[in-house]
Structure 1
Amino acid sequence: MVQGIVAGPWSIVPALLAISLAWYTRDALIGLFAGIVAAGVILGALHPQAVGVPADLVTVGGDLGQMHPQGDGDPWSIGVGGVVLGALFGLKFVPEIMANAPMFGAWYVENVLLAIFAIGGMIGLMIRAGAIQGVLQALTARADSAADVEKAAFLAGVAVHIDDYFNCLVVGSMMRPLTDAFDVSRAKLAYYVDSAGSPAARLAFYSTWGAAMVGFMGGGLVEAHKQGLLPSRMSDFVSTGGESVSAATGAVWPLFFNTLFTGFYSWVALAIAALVAWQVVPNLGPMKREESRARAGNGVLGEDADPMIAEEMDEYEMSETATPDWRNFAVPILTMIVVGLGAMFWRGSPVVFVEGKTGTTLLSIAGWELVAPPSGPWAFNIGGVQLGIASFTALVVAFALYRFKGDIPSNKDATDALLVGFKGILLAAVILTFASSIQKAVSLLGIASFVTNVFGGLPAWIIPVGVFGVTSFVSFADGSSWSTYGIMFPIAIPLAFATGANLPLVLGAVFSGGIFGDHASPISDTTVLASSTSGSDHMVHIRTQMPYALITAAITALLFLVGGLVLPSGFQVIPY
């Protein structure tokens, strides 16, 4: 297995290449893959013997000066021939980097990768069984004006928050006929879909996001352990066995729960979208022009608009045997939530356990105390979310329900619907796989230790807002929050420990910066999906949404600045 090295400034090259190419090509996948390849090339160039370059070529001349490929303080020079051959043979590291990415660990596969496909399959089944059409009809019966429709679009986005892809695919397709009927512009619909997609999904700890974020955070904690920065009280957050170190995923959940309170961008984005829907915040700039034209009856799209439509999902129709019924939508979604939450409070494997004797203080948060009741000892358990179980249970319930009711007439029709849903969600799975691989790649090059050495002397109070700013830039450039998390968590977590910054606040800054890119970048997958399923011109959607995204980012930055100044390093909402 490929071993990590201390690459110094070279460690940031794969991340910069991934960001630059993603922006230039408008394709996050190209950028991510190029970054992974670059990591393999650099590993081979700086450690040519590891890829089979003969020793007499490796140690010639000192053409490139002295390097420390193994980080052991024993300098040796690499000749040009060794560098060139090492870089070429370093390509053999690429499949090894991807195969050993956190994504392919058993927990990650079960709770993230397979869960994404289960959710995609449910989308296909719901469309075919008339579940989504049923929700649309229920909303239509209660809408009397454009203002009502805007509120419904926002609330639908918040309600369907299991996954940002699920949100965009379902809400945009479901609400478009209703918003068209009341002359609400397609750009306005796309704004509601986008503003309640990733921001709300980020807060849904029982969703694919919760499981994925715990995995990304685990990678950052492992990096901190390797640098000797992980506090002893958090030693159970990593598992060591022989030469390998991995995250103890179950132990990370309490730390993740703290970030639900510090993920400021999600809360602010949802608040602003709600205020827009309730007509408290006015339509700004380009959005005002779009809405004025639509309300005047001159079309929900401009004359020169080039609307994006997710053709396969949009053209996939409800079965002739289906009866539109909102309950067909509610039952599988509630099943997923109930099973996911049930697993959290199952006593078999708690990851948060608080207990105390009668009258003792259990928790103390900002002057507020939770005291054990006088009737006797008290205990509270929170276990890890089992998203794999929850999503597949919901998928089975949906399949059985629709077949039993006859909304889907045959098993073949049902499996065809599943395949349509799998295809619609495939991009999310591929991006997540590549994001996990880039996390592995930059960790092998020692990017966290390089950044910690360079910025470790900064005052703790500036770290949260600084991390938010850098993460926002990265996510806007590469268009993917998950790939951004793969790059940033191995940097931000060790930096927080090295500077004494409040850890939940720094984690919230990384989460928030990633959501900004998902919300605002023209190459963001969810932003493209929001335009596509809403039938909006993509660049019109970007221009009309940008003022709201920038206002949200400014308020978020201020909150992280204030939080960095007033919150002590040990502050936590939930014990971890």
Structure 2
Amino acid sequence: MSTDIAQPGIDSSTAANATQQTVEGVNSPQKWLLFYGGIMAFFAYLSTQHVEGESYGFYSLLPALLILFVAVITKKPLESIFAGIIAGLLLLDPGNLVNAMGDLSISVVMNETIAWIVLVCGMMGGLINMLERGGSVLSFGEMLAGRIKTRRGTMLTTCALGIMVFIDDYLNSLAVSASMKRLTDHYKISREKLAFLVDSTAAPVCILVPVSTWAVYFAALLEENGATPAGNGMSLYIESIPFMAYGWLALLVVFLVAAGILGDFGAMKHAEKRAQAGQPIPSGILLDGFDTSNMKKTSSFVGLINFLLPMAVLVAASVYYDIDLLLGALVASMFTMVMYFWQRLLTFGQLVDSMLDGFKVMLHPIAVVCAGFMVKEINDQLAMTPYIIDSLTPYLSKEMLPALVFASMAAVVFATGSSWGVFVVSLPIVIPMAISFDMSMPLTVGALLSASAFGSHACFFSDSTVLTSQGSGCTPMQHALTQIPYALIAAALAFTSLLIMGFVMA
């Protein structure tokens, strides 16, 4: 709440004009150009201080730190990431900036993982859009509204749905948020809190379930890096689940928040005050939805079936195709189009438009994720991950290994936003280290997966954060700033737990 105090000789219009001029002066393009120009000149200068063939050392951390700094100032993830990308390229080779940017862009776009993410995000966006326009999401929300009568029940139900959608964090981020938005708005729960509830049951849950995209991916990586004999990757993964401290503790924290035991603080407190005042959607966010006046009405039961069947087909098809969400989304989309067309809920043209509009909605999240992969490529060239691990090596011991692996890898994933790609670089270093210390491999893997889940959960430009904010109806920075205190609580508890387990199991 603000209070305007009249001062002698200054009328309210003069004060307002002065305030406006001050704001415009602070945000003037000239000052931003000078700000960025000075930073880029500094990175170009640092490149002249680097001796070719030697490690970049502490310099390797600076692009990631710049991204975090600019993000806090501007609250815009895409702009801050590109500032870090340009700074990193200047640090690597200032005389070849344009060519390096072009080569980096092409290499990222041609990356198989990026192509998979683009297609999955687009198809999932299209599928959710079809479910909304066909009235199925509305029917599902009405069914929940008829059974859930309290604000606390709404939040607990959101968490429970997140746990049930365990197969992939992308599916969780988009499907759960889409199905719960109307109900959380009704009970004046901010979109930021909805995003927190959804995101906290995305990656933290996916690592704890062996039938998920995360489990399949990491089980293969463990075999490739000698953590276990070929064919035993999934067995080692399952043995590691009890030691994935961050996943368990993040779930504990989110349920404490949903139950009202752990209160709101920081940016979340302000968001909830705004929601309680009647504005659950943050300012500047376009109201989601579309014209429902021409929507063909169905019974609540049929609408519910029209929502649950595509979801069931999506999960079943993904499992059938070896936990491949892309193929699952393709099958579910075709199934939904046929079912809705047969029921005459939407015309074929409307179904196609729904898919295309779903792709359009996902363009910004896809751009942020692609930019995050560009940051990872630059950090790899700067050898940031080996530098961090090498810096911690003098402090390593058998007892400290799990906790320090968690802390260092959590920092790396948080800085890069790449919860999967980072471990391609780090596993060949960490696994031999664990073997040389004769440390429990399940405990080491549990620490690694905990770090990965924290990075995906907390980083403001990670795929999980961006998709959850998109699905929930807030910006990535609004989501990240309201969520980070809770993520840090879980991370601190996870670090302590891994430290204790390290000494107990040494």
Flag whether TM exceeds 0.5 (same fold). yes
Counterpart-to-counterpart distance in 2, 1:538 and 1:233? 38
Aligned to 1:332: 310
State which of 233, 244, 256 in structure 2 corresponds to 1:263: 244
Counterpart-to-counterpart distance in 1, 2:282 and 2:232? 46
State which of 313, 320, 345 in structure 1 corresponds to 2:295: 320
Aligned to 2:350: 413
2:143 equivalent to 1:132: no
Counterpart-to-counterpart distance in 2, 1:312 and 1:208? 32
Q: Is the 8 A contact 1:8 1:447 kept in 2?
A: no
* Mapping of residues 418-457 of structure 1, within 5 Å: 418-457=355-394
CA, structure 1 residues 555+474, in 2 after alignment: closer, same or farther (shift >3 Å)? same
Q: Is the 8 A contact 1:127 1:316 kept in 2?
A: no
Q: Is the 8 A contact 1:314 1:533 kept in 2?
A: no
CA, structure 1 residues 492+97, in 2 after alignment: closer, same or farther (shift >3 Å)? same
Aligned to 1:497: 432
* Mapping of residues 306-317 of structure 1, within 5 Å: 307-308=282-283, 311=286, 313-315=288-290, 317=292
Counterpart-to-counterpart distance in 1, 2:206 and 2:152? 25
Task: Tell me the secondary structure at the aligned position of residue 289 of structure 2.
Answer: helix
Aligned to 1:67: none
CA, structure 1 residues 469+131, in 2 after alignment: closer, same or farther (shift >3 Å)? same
1:132-180 deviations in Å (ceiling 9; x for gaps): 1121111112123333323222223333455545444443443233234
Counterpart-to-counterpart distance in 2, 1:427 and 1:208? 23
Please identify which structure carries the higher helix content. Answer: 2
Shift of 1:301: 3.2
Q: Write the letter of the residue equivalent to 1:433.
A: C
1:97-126 deviations in Å (ceiling 9; x for gaps): 45445x7455x3675442232222211111
Q: Write the letter of the residue equivalent to 2:147.
A: R
2:250 equivalent to 1:272: no
2:378 equivalent to 1:398: no
Counterpart-to-counterpart distance in 1, 2:403 and 2:291? 44
Q: Write the letter of the residue equivalent to 1:301.
A: Q
CA, structure 1 residues 394+232, in 2 after alignment: closer, same or farther (shift >3 Å)? closer
Counterpart-to-counterpart distance in 2, 1:214 and 1:435? 24
Q: Write the letter of the residue equivalent to 2:254.
A: A
Counterpart-to-counterpart distance in 1, 2:240 and 2:367? 26
Counterpart-to-counterpart distance in 2, 1:503 and 1:530? 32
1:337-396 deviations in Å (ceiling 9; x for gaps): 22222344xxxxxxxxxxxxxxxxxxxxxxxxxxxxxxxxxxxxxxxx333322211221
Counterpart-to-counterpart distance in 1, 2:97 and 2:270? 52
Q: Write the letter of the residue equivalent to 1:321.
A: K
CA, structure 1 residues 176+207, in 2 after alignment: closer, same or farther (shift >3 Å)? same
2:56 equivalent to 1:10: yes
* Mapping of residues 31-430 of structure 1, within 5 Å: 31-37=80-86, 40-41=89-90, 44=93, 87-89=94-96, 91-100=98-107, 104=110, 106=112, 108=113, 111-161=116-166, 163-182=168-187, 184=189, 188-203=193-208, 231=226, 260-278=241-259, 281-285=261-265, 300-302=275-277, 307-308=282-283, 311=286, 313-315=288-290, 317=292, 320-321=295-296, 323=298, 325-344=303-322, 385-408=323-346, 410-430=347-367
1:56-83 deviations in Å (ceiling 9; x for gaps): xxxxxxxxxxxxxxxxxxxxxxxxxxxx
The number of residue pairs the alignment matches comes to: 446
More divergent stretch after superposition (334-343 vs 160-169): 160-169
Q: Write the letter of the residue equivalent to 1:560.
A: L
1:2-46 deviations in Å (ceiling 9; x for gaps): xxx9854316645530342244134444454455555555555xx
1:399-432 deviations in Å (ceiling 9; x for gaps): 2222122222x12111111122112333443344
Counterpart-to-counterpart distance in 2, 1:286 and 1:90? 40
Counterpart-to-counterpart distance in 2, 1:32 and 1:185? 27
Q: Is the 8 A contact 1:14 1:442 kept in 2?
A: yes
1:443-478 deviations in Å (ceiling 9; x for gaps): 3454455455444342133233223223444555x5
Aligned to 1:463: 401
Shift of 1:561: 1.4
Counterpart-to-counterpart distance in 2, 1:8 and 1:528? 36
Q: Is the 8 A contact 2:288 2:473 kept in 1?
A: no
Please identify which structure carries the higher strand content. Answer: 1
Shift of 1:330: 1.7
Counterpart-to-counterpart distance in 2, 1:515 and 1:422? 26
CA, structure 1 residues 446+340, in 2 after alignment: closer, same or farther (shift >3 Å)? same
Counterpart-to-counterpart distance in 2, 1:194 and 1:185? 14
Shift of 1:316: 6.6
Q: Is the 8 A contact 2:196 2:479 kept in 1?
A: yes
Counterpart-to-counterpart distance in 2, 1:119 and 1:537? 19
Task: Tell me the secondary structure at the aligned position of residue 321 of structure 1.
Answer: coil
Aligned to 2:46: none
Q: Is the 8 A contact 2:385 2:412 kept in 1?
A: no
Task: Tell me the secondary structure at the aligned position of residue 497 of structure 1.
Answer: helix
Task: Tell me the secondary structure at the aligned position of residue 141 of structure 1.
Answer: helix
Q: Write the letter of the residue equivalent to 2:154.
A: V
Aligned to 1:59: none
Normalising by structure 1, we get a TM-score of 0.63
Identical amino acids, percent of aligned pairs:
24
Aligned to 1:555: 493
Normalising by structure 2, we get a TM-score of 0.71
Q: Is the 8 A contact 2:126 2:359 kept in 1?
A: yes
Counterpart-to-counterpart distance in 1, 2:54 and 2:441? 25
CA, structure 1 residues 137+412, in 2 after alignment: closer, same or farther (shift >3 Å)? same
Counterpart-to-counterpart distance in 1, 2:369 and 2:478? 27
Aligned to 2:33: none
